[in-house]
Structure 1
Amino acid sequence: MFFSPLPRRRPQLPISERRLLLALGDLAAVFISVIIAMRIWTRVSGDPFSAEFILPRSGWFVVLSVIWLLLASANDFFELQIAASRSRTFQRLIVITLQTWVVYIIVFFLAPVGMLPRLFVLYYGIASLILIGLWRFNRPFLVGWASDQRRTLIVGADDSAEVIINTIRSEALSEYDVRGIIGSNNQVGSLITGVPVLGSGADVMNFVRRDRISLLIVTETSRLDAEAFQGVMDAYEAGISIVPMALEYERITGRVPIHHISSDWAVIFLSIRNSDGILDPYPPLKRLIDVILALIGLLMFVLIFPLVALIQRLDSRGPVFYTQKRVGRHGRLFTVYKLRSMIHDAEAISGPVFSSKDDKRVTRFGRFMRKSRLDEVPQLLNVLRGDMSIVGPRPERPEHISRLTEQIPFYRTRLIVRPGLTGWAQVRYDYGSNDVDAMVKLQYDLYYIRHQSLLLDVNIMLRTVRKIASLSGV
């Protein structure tokens, strides 16, 4: 079938490429900032600013670029919703600059005397603050074609359409211009959360042409009728991006929409790094990092343990440690170790229940331990034993697993990987104390399982450090 060409439209980047553009612009500013810092360095020291000076110190370009990418990612600086707000961009930029200085100061005092320049990072920080700020604030003018809203048509007038529309409004409004919905004939003219149903499947190309659509979001691929399927295929052949609703939701939120995916979708997880095979370097490398970090953490914990134990005993009676059965990888039970943060025998009356934000059973010192995650440190023993990893879905109790498996689709899928001390759900979602929260946290856990990598693990660990430093635990 042949069609006349679609009207010319400016190129519009998908979410992943827009985030990449933000990162590339930031890195360009970082490189220029390093050069400026070196120039100031030579002015102060009296050294000539030349290739002979720059080349031996070229490692700074790599080191500061990596530090920037890690800290920016951990602070959501590449999130489009933040990039669209000048005030939030400036706030995050200040925070990342301060964090860079803190990292440098720590390394400076640990490094041999005279190895690192004292004021170089100060020059760099000020220069990067100005240059990255200028780039971010002027991005719409510098690369306006890459900042345009994506003209979007949603194919499917069902609950999934409502979910993706509300998600776009709450988390990515600046990136999408939702023009309408394609539904069935008897739905035409109705509204779904304020967005009109424009036509049926036979009208897809008409509205693609009229509204210069660049993106079709298909809510339920398995439910498309013949006309809608043909319309989607025609749009694809005309160069329009076609994305399933679940995938676009995942890109926007960092969660998997478990109630809006087909029943056989969990099969995808069964082959995702589900073994410790030697062909995939990630599992053994992740395990090596687990062991190293667990040993370092336990050595540090031994130094402060006498003080922690003394304060705990003065605060409340009962044992210092607390053990509990949890469900690990592939459903295997193991004993988890924690510092006791509640009154002794807290569950003697209540039984196994979720801990709540203002749980009266938590002691005074226990509340501090929870906010600082200090009560979780003994679980480094579980990491050494291989029961847990540093990063992964948090382990749940058998009673909760049994109940939630019956209530929430795909819940057992989180048992594909080792549970962790911290996880994607813990750094992206507030403390949860009921089944609704458990469902949302599962969406984050499944996202982690689907996308797990060393970079994501490092991102989660940095976010965890930020949470610990802010005492935002419960």
Structure 2
Amino acid sequence: MVRVFNHYLQKRSVTQVAFDVGLIVAVLILTVMTMGGSDPLSLPVAAAQGLSLAGVMFVVNSATGLYQPAPKRSLTQVCARGIVALLFALPITYAVLHLVPMGQAEAPWASFAAMAAVAAVVLHRAYASHVADPARGRSRVLVLGAGPAALDVAQSLRESDPMAQIIGFYRGSDTEVAVDEKDLVSTADSLSETALRLGADEIVVALSERRGGNTPLRELLDCKVVGIRVVDLATHFEKNLHQISLKHVNAGWLVFGDGFNQTALRSAIKRAFDIVCSAMLLLVTAPIMVLAAVAVRLESRGPVFYRQERVGLNSQPFMVTKFRSMRTDAEKDGKPVWATKNDDRVTRVGKFIRRTRIDELPQLFNVLRGDMSLVGPRPERAFFVEQLVQKIPYFAVRHSVKPGVTGWAQVKYDYGATEEDAAAKLQYDLYYVKNHSLFLDILVLIETVAVVLTGRGAR
């Protein structure tokens, strides 16, 4: 794992992005140099075009899932994703090259070279995602513990990190054994000796009982000074699942750890980003919003827009605006009800605009007003917030930042309609609040594109 602006990324993904950027930029620069461009601005323009195209490819490949190793994905699925990526990438490449044109001599060749480079990147990514060898370059993980907590670690690694290999469980002070006994390693040697013998790269401390000096701190220190990474349970889940596990976190870890940086500079940058991006999105999506408004009006009586009080920054109420997607009598008795999958209160137009997230677009006006941000936790109704704050620890922490049109929890977890779902989503919201940055906001927006294209999580 590589930490970039407090967010953990797979080392493999970082390498792939760097390779794609280098390839596209190098192809354009070499093309201009080969053509012997006389204009002194030819090389800077080629570099700018290359970086722009590399950014486009990062968005397209991320949205279509081509940066994710998926050896179990069928060849048909891989080809479909590659075709979708090309359908987006090639027209954008053509547009970028003509928005910032080169000299007359270099332009045709540069266009051909850029198209070829972009196509090569997509094809290579599709091939690499399909035939990726999980065993290559794996990180060797030794788990200290053998109880339920150790089992949670094993399950999370299998689900989230194909580049991690569990080399064994060192029982330690755990009295209960929840893992398969054949996976236990001998405790005849000390923890440090065992870790060195097995060639461990990382030790995850997953002892179910950590009281009374049961954690072998001296041996863990011996491992750390020779270059073996040592992480606790909460850090493990933060790094690998990009969430703050409610089951394995405590207030001390949140208070004394890093993160939760709410600086004035960060707030100013986020606000500027919100204003610029929401204004651009409103311009681009204006025709879609007009069509949606007409469709809502034609299908059923009632207002086009749906306004409702939600809880925002510092638990202050505000009125959120969305396209109406339900019948006007959706809550006839006046009691708030969770929206559910295949909810019969949703109209036919409502199903479509929910699936495509068009119903969320009017919230961009909330962003311009300052009630919301583009990226942040989902704004909830006060009725539900009062219940969830009482039942779920740290739920109120999500109100320390502005709610968002989209968010880390929204792109990582399907829409939920129960208190259990709210607790699961809170784990991602806490991760966002702790580690939020402009970089993470951009990643969330890219993931949102993928969610919109696939319709994942619609309700």
- TM-score, normalization by structure 1: 0.80
Tell me the residue number matched to 2:444: 460
Match of 1:211 among 193, 198, 203: 198
**2:332, 2:9 → 1: CA distance?**
53
**CA deviation map 1:255-290 (0-9, x unaligned):** 111110123334369972335x2xx2x321211121
The Cα shift of 1:430 comes to: 1.6
Does structure 1 residue 121 correspond to structure 2 residue 110? Answer: no
Secondary structure of the 2:333 match is helix
| Alpha-carbon distance in 1 for matches of 2:188, 2:87 | 53
Q: In the alignment, residue 332 of structure 1 is paired with which amino acid?
A: Q
1:11 is aligned to none
1:200–1:228: 8 Å Cα contact kept in structure 2? no
Q: 1:139 and 1:308, CA in 2 relative to 1: closer, same or farther beyond 3 A?
A: closer
Aligned-pair distance for 1:362?
0.2
CA contact (8 A) 2:37 2:103 kept: no
Task: Please say if 1:381 is aligned against 2:373.
Answer: no
Deviation at 1:353, TM superposition (A): 1.7
Task: Provide the secondary structure at the position in 2 that maps to 1:353.
Answer: coil
Report the secondary structure of 2:307's partner residue. strand
Contact 1:75 1:463 in 2 (8 A): no
For the residue of structure 2 that corresponds to 1:258, the secondary structure is coil
Q: Which residue of 2 aligns with 1:23?
A: 14
Partners of 1:150 and 1:214 within 8 A in 2 = yes
1:286 is aligned to 2:270: yes
What is the identity percentage for the equivalent residue pairs of Structure 1 and Structure 2? 29
Contact 1:191–1:197 (CA under 8 A) maintained in structure 2: no
Match of 1:59 among 43, 48, 51: 48
Partner residue of 2:242 out of 243, 246, 254: 254
Question: Per residue, is there more helix in 1 or in 2?
Answer: 1
| Inter-partner Cα distance in structure 1 for 2:320 and 2:182 | 49
Structure 1's 85 and 309: CA in aligned 2 closer, same or farther, altered over 3 A?
closer
Among 350, 353, 374, the residue aligned to 1:390: 374
Answer whether contact 2:49 2:100 (CA < 8 A) is retained.
Answer: no
Which deviates more, 177-186 or 301-310?
301-310
Aligned length: 447
Which residue of 2 is the match for residue 421 of structure 1?
405
User: Which amino acid in structure 2 is aligned with residue 427 of structure 1?
Assistant: V
Q: Secondary structure at the match of 1:260?
A: coil
CA 1:137–1:83 in 2, change beyond 3 Å: closer, same or farther?
Answer: closer
The equivalent residue for 2:424 is: 440
Contact 1:182–1:200 (8 Å) recurs in 2: yes
Distance 1:128 1:445, change over 3 A: same
Give the structure 2 partner of residue 162 of structure 1: 151
Distance 1:442 1:376, change over 3 A: same
Contact 1:266 1:413 in 2 (8 A): no
Cα distance, 1:394–1:307 mapped onto 2, change above 3 Å: same
Q: Map 1:54-203 onto structure 2 (within 5 A).
A: 54=43, 56-75=45-64, 77-79=66-68, 81-82=69-70, 95-107=84-96, 118-129=111-122, 147-184=136-173, 186-187=175-176, 190-192=177-179, 196-198=183-185, 203=190
Aligned partners of 2:143 and 2:166 also within 8 Å: no
- Contact 1:325–1:334 (Cα < 8 Å) also in 2: yes
* Structure 2 unaligned blocks of 5 or more: none
Mapped to 2, the partners of 1:466 and 1:107 lie a distance apart of 22
Q: Post-superposition shift, 1:216?
A: 0.9
Give 1:238 shift: 3.2
Q: Distance in 1 between matches of 2:101 and 2:138?
A: 51
Contact 2:23 2:117 in 1 (8 A): no
Q: Residues of 2 paired with 1:169 and 1:438: CA distance?
A: 24
Report the secondary structure of 2:216's partner residue. Answer: helix
Alpha carbons 1:74, 1:459 under 8 Å: kept = no
Residue 362 of structure 1 corresponds to 346
RMSD, matched Cα: 3.8
Measure how far apart 1:89 and its partner are. 7.4
Note if contact 2:140-2:202 (Cα within 8 Å) is conserved in structure 1.
Answer: yes
User: In the alignment, what sits opposite 2:280?
Assistant: 296
Distance 1:254 1:51, change over 3 A: farther
> How far is the alpha carbon of 1:410 from its aligned partner?
1.2
Report how far residue 384 of structure 1 moved: 1.6
Q: CA deviation at 1:421?
A: 0.4
Change (3 A) 1:73 1:83: farther
Unaligned runs of 5+ in 1: 1-13
